[in-house]
Amino acid sequence: MFDKLEDLVRRFEEILNELSEPDVTSNQNRFRSLMKEQSDLTPIVEAYKEYKKCTQDMEDSITMLEEEKDPDMREMLKEEHNEAKKRIGEIEHELKVLLLPKDPNDDKNVIVEIRAGAGGDEAALFAAELYRMYAHYVETKHWKLELVNADETGIGGMKEVEFMVSGQGAYSVLKYESGVHRVQRVPETESGGRIHTSTATVAVMPEAEEVDVQIDEKDIRIDVMRASGNGGQCVNTTDSAVRLTHYPTGIVIYSQTEKSQIQNKEKAFTLLRAKLYDLECQKAHDAEADARRSQIGTGDRSEKIRTYNFPQGRVTDHRIKLTLYRIDSIMNGDIQEIIDNLIAADQAAKLLKMNENL
């Protein structure tokens, strides 16, 4: 591990030297690439520098203890030694986590797709509540949310909703939300007071750039039509809605949230690229069964990941056996504790696998 760290420090210094050269800024692609690499290496280099400082402090305190006769000074040196030793252990763990292979999609924006599953109207109401939960969470992160398409029911539910989230590290955080979400509660339409179980599926896909996915124009059919449902004054009066059909995969994208046909078309292509890129990622996951098993629920869309039980006021994430009894705040977007625990569990699983391979 330490040989690798020394190599990274050398590479970090090379980048700094290269960035100081006048001709680098004239090549914007090269400049952005170096800045990105510098940003990625900075936390590792800083942690390693602190590790070496603490190691030196510990060695110095041992040397001084051997020479020091004063009891009070010896006690103080022992405290310094123990603090440095404790911190060294903490930094070693931090460095191992920082050296874990990084998901290349982690820094990307995301496309989120929520679909009502089993449960009819109740499932559509739950899908709408999940959308609002994520919308509130995105707001707390000061990210940007853009609605792409929403198929609403007359009673406030959503059969399907697709939206984009733009923000630093959005995929690294939201990717753990992919899977089947289950709700248990008494529906408002249920006169007998029986608890029903309904589901909704959530798919979180990294936004794909044009360089990530090549789309042949011959493979696409573009239809324009009048938007339907609730909306502004242009709804039902102009052909602003766009539907894309991708022949090779059968994927159909519908976008109608913007008044401009051009903007809807742009959003539709963004969603199509994300879906095609996601298909490739899923194939890679399937081919790497071992890697997928070491991840916390970021591969299998059919996996039941979480239950929201309203009568008991609890939310349970089944992947990490975490249960929280504050369903109201969670449905209002307070999901950071769940995500933090999922990230920690994912890192622990990957560290275990890394140690097994050493």
Q: Select from 75, 98, 121 the last residue of a domain.
A: 98
The tokens for 276 are: 């095609």
Same domain as 82, residue 223: no
Same domain as 217, residue 325: yes
**Each residue's pLDDT tens digit, 289-326:** 554 454 554 445 567 999 999 999 999 999 999 999 99
Is there a domain that residue 6 lies in? Answer: yes
- Cα–Cα nearest to 206, from 339, 108, 102: 108
Is there a domain that residue 356 lies in? Answer: no
Is there a domain that residue 354 lies in? Answer: no
The CATH number of residue 198's host domain is 3.30.70.1660
The CATH number of residue 43's host domain is 1.20.58
What pLDDT does 128 receive?
94
Same domain as 218, residue 277: yes
Strand order of the β-sheet with 144-152 is 144-152, 158-166, 110-116, 196-206, 179-185, 304-309, 314-317, 322-324
- State CA 29 to chain mean position distance: 26
Ordered per-residue pLDDT tens for the chain, 358 residues = 777 888 888 888 888 888 888 787 777 778 878 888 888 888 888 988 988 888 888 888 888 888 878 888 888 888 888 888 888 988 888 888 887 778 788 888 999 999 999 888 899 999 999 999 999 999 999 999 999 888 888 788 999 999 999 998 899 999 999 999 999 998 876 666 788 899 999 999 988 876 677 788 888 888 887 776 554 444 445 678 888 888 888 888 888 877 888 888 888 888 888 888 888 877 766 655 554 454 554 445 567 999 999 999 999 999 999 999 999 999 999 999 999 999 989 888 888 776 666 5
Q: How far apart are CA 88 and CA 2, in angstroms?
A: 13
What pLDDT does 305 receive?
93
Q: Select from 98, 119, 154 the last residue of a domain.
A: 98
Per the listing, tokens 């991840």 go with 295
Q: What domain range includes position 51?
A: 2-98
Same domain as 212, residue 94: no
Is there a domain that residue 105 lies in? Answer: no
Q: How far apart are CA 225 and CA 333, in angstroms?
A: 35
Is there a domain that residue 340 lies in? Answer: yes
**Each residue's pLDDT tens digit, 6-51:** 888 888 888 888 888 878 777 777 887 888 888 888 888 898 898 8
- Average per-residue pLDDT in the chain? 84
Kind of pairing, strands 304-309 and 144-152? Answer: unpaired
- The residue length of the chain stands at 358
The one-character DSSP state at 173 is: H
Same domain as 155, residue 125: yes
Is there a domain that residue 353 lies in? Answer: no
What pLDDT does 232 receive?
43
Q: Select from 64, 98, 132 the last residue of a domain.
A: 98
The tally of domains found in the chain comes to 2
What pLDDT does 48 receive?
86
What pLDDT does 142 receive?
95
Full-model pTM: 0.73
The one-character DSSP state at 176 is: G
- The neighbour count for residue 123, using CB atoms within 10 Å, is 24
Same domain as 213, residue 316: yes
Q: How far apart are CA 151 and CA 229, in angstroms?
A: 8
Same domain as 23, residue 51: yes
Same domain as 274, residue 135: yes
Q: How far apart are CA 98 and CA 44, in angstroms?
A: 6
The one-character DSSP state at 114 is: E
Same domain as 252, residue 179: yes
Is there a domain that residue 355 lies in? Answer: no
Same domain as 139, residue 222: yes
Same domain as 161, residue 63: no
Same domain as 19, residue 85: yes
What pLDDT does 132 receive?
96
Is there a domain that residue 253 lies in? Answer: yes
